[in-house]
Amino acid sequence: MKYSAIILLSILGTTLSAQLTGNEVVPILSQDQEVNFDGSYRTSYETGNGISAQEQGQLKNAGNKDAEVEEVQGSFQFTAPDGTPIQLQYIANENGFQPQGAHLPVAPTPPPIPPAIQRALDWIAAHPEPENQGNNKRF
């Protein structure tokens, strides 16, 4: 549930700061919540100013304390103050928070490894150092 609380607060903060100006009243067009006895849940809402969000979560590997993890996935959308439509899909699980959206920056492709360094790496991989070769420490 900790992921869902963080995500819900970030969505709320983002959407409120992006959409509300002054004393504007925004109607809730739809809202749905379902919480099950096993801890899984679903929630969604849509507002009159174009904000919508949906999220669902469940406990994976329940009962296995070493592998038990909550997985949350969802999406939200709104229009930024500059008129840009923002749509974000996400999943949060044992691998962390993984957002996807056209507005998110993309890391540049790293440059290729120079040929001389690649040859050295290939040679090292083909000639591994023997383990514990007479305990010849050089330092």
- The contacts of residue 38 (CB under 8 Å, 6+ apart) are 58, 59, 62
Q: What pLDDT digit, counting tens, does each position of 13-50 carry? A: 555 555 555 667 899 999 999 999 888 999 999 999 99
Q: 18: which residues sit within 8 A by CB, 6+ positions away?
A: 78, 79, 80, 81, 86
DSSP label at residue 112: P
- pLDDT of amino acid 61: 82
pTM of the model: 0.59
Tell me which H or E stretch contains 120: helix 115-126
Residue 122, burial from CB neighbour count under 10 angstroms (0-12, 13-18, 19+):
exposed
| pLDDT per position as a tens digit, 75-100 | 999 999 999 999 999 999 989 999 99
